Every structure is written in C-alpha cells, then in structure tokens.
Amino acid sequence: MPALTLLIPQLIAHRGNARDYPENTLPAFASALGLGLQFLELDVHLSADGVPVVIHDHELLRTTGQRGSVFELRASQLTRIDAHEPRRFGERFRGTRIPLLTDVLALLGGRPQATLFVEIKRASLAQFGLEQVVGRVLETLTPARSQCVVISFDLAAVMRARELAGVPIGWVLSDYDAHSRIKYEALRPEYLFCDRLKLPRSGALWRGPWRWAIYEVDTASLARSLAARGVHYVETMAVHAMSEALAAPSSAPTPLQGV
C-alpha cells in the first residue's frame, strides 16, 4: 500500500486578514500579503455614482457604526467614512476608511503572483442591474485583470463577466446538490466556492475542470481533511493562525475518503 501524502490547501484571505483587522480594508489586505498569502478575496458594491466600493454589506452600520447605505452615497463620500468595525475593535482602528476597488488593486502592484477574487454582491445587482454592475467592475479591473477572478452567487453575473472579458470566474454555490451540479457542469467555471457547512459530511467532492474553494474554515485539521477530499483552496479570516498551523508538521496525514 503506497504511503499517504499529506495534503495542504492554499489559503485565501477572506476579506483580508479579517481576524486581526477590520474586514475588507487596506490594512487587512496588506497584512495578508505581508504574511505571504497569494490569494485574497473581497466584496464589491456600487456607490450611488457607480463606483465599485469594497464592502460586504450595502448597509453601513455593522462595519462603520453609521446608518445608511452604499447605494445612497457617492464614492467620494464613502471614502471619508471609517470602516473600523467599532463593535469588534472599538476605536482601535478609527481612521481606517472604506476603500475603493482601485485602492486594493494598487496593492497588487509588484506582486504578479497575487490573485484577487472579486465577489459581486447580489444586492448591487438588484439595485443597479447586471449590465451596469458587471460592466463597471470589469472596467475597474482592467489594469490588473490577469490577476483577478470574478465570483458571485449570481450565476448570470459570472457568465456575463466571462462573455464580456474572458476573465476566470467562480460561482459561489447556494447549495451543494444535484440541481447546482447540472448548472456548474454546463458553466464549467474555473472555481467553485461553497460554505463548508453545505458539504456532505464525507467523501470526495465532485470533480471537473474547476477548483474547489471552501469557506468558513478556521482550523488546520479541517483544512487538511478538505484537501484530502479534493479541495484546492480554503478561505479563512484567521489568516495568521491558519498560516502558522498549516506550516507546522501534522502528526498524521489524512487519507482520501471514498465517495
């Protein structure tokens, strides 16, 4: 019987190093890059004047402490608002502003090995329409398009991104089921994203030309077990702890589980 190989997945920094810094902010992304990660993920909405802004919720309250919506303010107004997550960090990161997508792209300069997963949020698609949102995001990504992957829960949005620009795409699954499988086998995206809680409890994941990226992963043992099931990437906010844990030797390799 051949020796088992220890599998270690690649880490994607979910909203940057969001365990130690406010999520989706320049310090969070800079920290992840500084820790040696090559894969970042962020969320984008459009401002009132159609500029891609990096923020998860279109409602501002959770990450800024202010009421209002991204959709109600121009980009110039949004970039003056602190995104310091006061509920989590108090005043520690006061002065950390909401970034534009262009601000994050600037961090990729001189880092050709870095890849950015850009998630188009469904609320923006509902607010502004698919054509405007996808078009504005792709236009903004142009200088760094070779380093970017467009992802979304919205299947039509990622299909349109591929049609317009030929960019790699990732579909974020709402469910890991036969209905979704029919769709993504037809779409054949480069990446499939899925919440770990929506996966079956055991067995290799469905195989195809895509690469699996599983999110809500915050332990090295879970990351290794997912890798053994065919997962290429795990997405985590606990960037620092996970980097150290996966770099440490494991007591035993995880065998590939049967389908």
Q: How many CB atoms lie within 10 A of CB 244?
A: 12
Show the domain range for 242: 13-44+112-247
Average pLDDT over residues 33-56: 98
Averaged confidence pLDDT in the chain: 94
Domain-located, residue 66: no
Domain-located, residue 96: no
Domain-located, residue 138: yes
* CATH number of the domain bearing residue 155: 3.20.20.190
Domain-located, residue 170: yes
**What confidence tens digit (pLDDT) does each residue in 123-144 have?**
999 999 999 999 999 999 999 9
Q: How many domains does the chain have?
A: 1
pLDDT grade for 15, boundaries at 50, 70 and 90: very high
H or E element that contains 162: helix 155-165
Q: How far apart are CA 26 and CA 66, in angstroms?
A: 19
Domain-located, residue 71: no
**What confidence tens digit (pLDDT) does each residue in 94-129 have?**
999 999 999 999 999 999 999 999 999 999 999 999
Q: Work out the end-to-end distance of the chain between its first and last CA atoms, rounded to an integer number of angstroms.
A: 19
Q: Which pLDDT belongs to residue 3? A: 40
Q: How far apart are CA 229 and CA 69, in angstroms?
A: 40
Domain-located, residue 231: yes
Domain-located, residue 100: no
pLDDT grade for 6, boundaries at 50, 70 and 90: low
